A and B are shown apart, each in its own frame.
Chain A
Amino acid sequence: MRSGVTIFPGSNCDRDIIVALKNITGKAPIKMWHKDIEFPNLDLIVIPGGFSFGDYLRCGALAARSPVIKSIKNHISRGGAVLGICNGFQILIEAGILPGSLIRNKKLLFTCRDTMLEIQDTIVSPFLSGLKKELHLNIPVAHNEGNFFASETLLNELKNDGRIAFKYIKEINNDIDYNPNGSSNDIAGILSKNGRVLGMMPHPERAINKLHGGTDGLKFLTKSFEQIIG
C-alpha cells in the first residue's frame, strides 16, 4: 500500500501512525510536509493527531489553510482514501472535507482514557467493510475538543446516509461517562459521502500493542488497509 502521513508544525502523533503503517503494511509511508504540494499518487493519506499550529485560533483551522490540503483534496477527488485521527479529524472539518464541527469537551477538560466503540451500519467504506458489525473496539481518546456538534438536519442526514462510523457505547459495569466529550448522538467518527474519508477522535495507532492500549486499533487498521488495496 502506498501511503502518506501529513506533518504540520505541532503534529505529535505522526511518529505513532508511521510506526503503525510500517508494522502493518511492511512499507514506510511518505512524510507530507505542510508546505509541500507535489506528491506521488497514494492509496491512503493519514492526517495524524497532535496540536497543529498549537491549536491556536480554532483546532485545525490554521492547518486547514496549508498548501498540503490542496493535494489532499485532489487525492480525494481521485477516489483516494483519507483517515483523519483526532486533530486530523478537526482539520478535515475545518477544510470543509467533512461536515459538522468539533467543540470543547462537555466538561471543559482535556480527557485521556479508553473508550469502547460500536461499529455502525454504514455505506460501503474501506475503513469499515472488513469489520464485523458486532465487534466492539476498545480504543483510547486524548483530546480537548472532540465534542461532535451538528444541526438536527445534518445529524439526521448522517444517520440516514450511513455516514456515522463509530459511536461511543457503555461497557458492562462502566460508569455513565462512557461518552468522553458529550458529542451529539455519541458520535466518535464520521464518513464522507463516498465513504472513503474517515474522521475519528479515538487513536487506533495507540492500540496496536498488547502492552500499550491493547490490539483493537491494530485490528481496525489492518482490516482497513486490506480493503483499501483490495
Chain B
Amino acid sequence: MKVIVNISLKEGVLDPEGQAIKTSLSNLGFENLNDVQTGKQIILNFKNLEEKEAVLETKKMCEDLLVNTVIEKYKINILRD
C-alpha cells in the first residue's frame, strides 16, 4: 500500500521559489495567476500494514523527520491499489 505525503509551507511563510516561478511564468506570458506555491511529495510504499496503522505511522514519520513542522504543513493521502 502506498501513502502519499504532500508537504507545503504553512500559510504566511514566504515561498521564494513560488514567487520566482510566478515571475518567470508571467514573463512567458502566463498572466492568469494570483500566486504560485511550491511543495514536495513523498510516496511511502508500505509492507503489509493496516490502513489505519500506516496512516498513524506516516503521521509519526512526518512529525519526526519528513516535515519541518516549524514552517511546513502536510497532508496524508492513501493510494489504494
Is there a contact between chains A and B in the complex with CB atoms less than 8 Å apart?
yes
Given contacts A35-B27, A57-B21, A62-B21, 6 further A-B contacts (CB under 8 A): A53-B20, A53-B24, A54-B16, A54-B17, A56-B16, A56-B38
Asked if A65 lies at the interface with its beta carbon under 8 angstroms from chain B, I say yes
Chain B nearest CB from A60 CB (Å) reads 12
Q: Which residues of A contact B27 (CB under 8 A)?
A: 35, 65-66
Q: Contact: A65 with B24, CB < 8 Å?
A: yes
> How far is B23's CA from A65's CA once the two chains are assembled, in angstroms?
12
Q: Contact: A56 with B20, CB < 8 Å?
A: yes
Q: Which residues of A contact B17 (CB under 8 A)?
A: 54, 56-57
A residues in contact (CB < 8 Å) with B:
35, 53-54, 56-57, 62, 65-66
Q: Which residues of A contact B16 (CB under 8 A)?
A: 54, 56
Q: Which residues of B contact A54 (CB under 8 A)?
A: 16-17, 20
B residues in contact (CB < 8 Å) with A:
16-17, 20-21, 24, 27-28, 38
Q: Which residues of B contact A66 (CB under 8 A)?
A: 27
Q: Contact: B21 with A56, CB < 8 Å?
A: yes
Total A-B pairs, Cβ < 8 A: 22
> How far is B28's CA from A54's CA once the two chains are assembled, in angstroms?
18
Chain A nearest CB from B12 CB (Å) reads 19
Chain A nearest CB from B60 CB (Å) reads 24
Q: Which residues of B contact A57 (CB under 8 A)?
A: 17, 20-21, 38
> How far is B16's CA from A56's CA once the two chains are assembled, in angstroms?
8
Chain B nearest CB from A34 CB (Å) reads 9
| Between-chain CB contacts (< 8 Å), 6 pairs | A35-B27, A54-B20, A56-B16, A56-B20, A57-B21, A65-B24
Chain A nearest CB from B23 CB (Å) reads 8
Q: Contact: A65 with B20, CB < 8 Å?
A: no
Q: Which residues of B contact A35 (CB under 8 A)?
A: 27
> How far is B16's CA from A54's CA once the two chains are assembled, in angstroms?
9
> How far is B27's CA from A135's CA once the two chains are assembled, in angstroms?
45
Q: Contact: A65 with B28, CB < 8 Å?
A: yes
Chain A nearest CB from B16 CB (Å) reads 6
Q: Which residues of A contact B28 (CB under 8 A)?
A: 65
Chain B nearest CB from A65 CB (Å) reads 6
Closest to B16 in A: A54
Closest to B28 in A: A65
Chain B nearest CB from A61 CB (Å) reads 9
